[in-house]
Structure 1
């Protein structure tokens, strides 16, 4: 049986940042993440200024595109505001994950290729069944549909209809240094500058339809994103 101070279940950005803070505080820490790094998923890929400051406080930097504010768009209506305390950063999720993953390994924290679907909890800590692993504390950083949260009876039913995330990158120059949020009747489109010739567009929608069908609901945005520039 391997004993550790802290078990972090989930090796995404939140789990890795938690593990790095814990290791630097002197805790013997282990991360359980079955997927090989870097882990990718559909997301907006934008760090707000507070997140950039948090990354800087860890002594880390991820390559990306500066973000100066946020803009909301619905048809002809627009409203925008600059960030008041520093810049944000548009950064590929894989690039951010790579930076955090390397920092965790450099700190001596093992990232075990282990899927944790449940734990047994007692007064002194938690045990991972079948893995010969025990920890004094547990951080469940295994996502929105956390199996660990469910196994501990902490899950709560949602009252809203499910929504789906889709994302695509386009090799076009950003037309703004703002994050843009385009509002539609069934979806929102989140546009994030990621580099000199790279823009990410994430869709959050209640309709289970292909990406191109969803994007067509935002004609002004779609006109900026020729299909042949998708990467």
Structure 2
């Protein structure tokens, strides 16, 4: 994994994310949009507790993630997240396919099916919020520091080991939790899916079951720019 920053002109945003941030960074580079940041780890590393608070900053517990993060801060000329003066764009917490791993949800099924209403229930929301508590704390901290924060919803792709019903419901739970915190949500589902409800093939990374491609990254970038970034 390598950083994705551009450095020729003042950055318009800081990008912090998992591998889903890659297409966003590539699209910005291709378009000549200045930013700093990029992927700092795999999505599964950013669900439960993954950072510690240090004053107006945070320290990622995984050394590699923290190393990339410090590099991005240095490029921006700041020593901590609290010094950020441009918007924060993040994909952290939205790798819903990890939350939707089938084995996690077998206990809630009866004869192969979820009880009626379960996926829209408070119990389901509580479980998902508990599983993504670290990500939710990350966004809370960013808002406490007074940052403008935009979270990008994931490609609508569900690998074999994940439950499509849970994936769909879980990302809605995460979305609502982040909206409650005050996060802006980049939600392109109506534009990136076909009649199946899943990602259109031309927006999927080839030979890959999870990620969006550069064309999808361009769609996200266009949405960010339309929001004034």
TM-score (norm 2): 0.25
Q: Which has the higher strand share?
A: 1
Q: Which has the higher helix share?
A: 2
Asked which structure has the greater CA Rg, the reply is 1
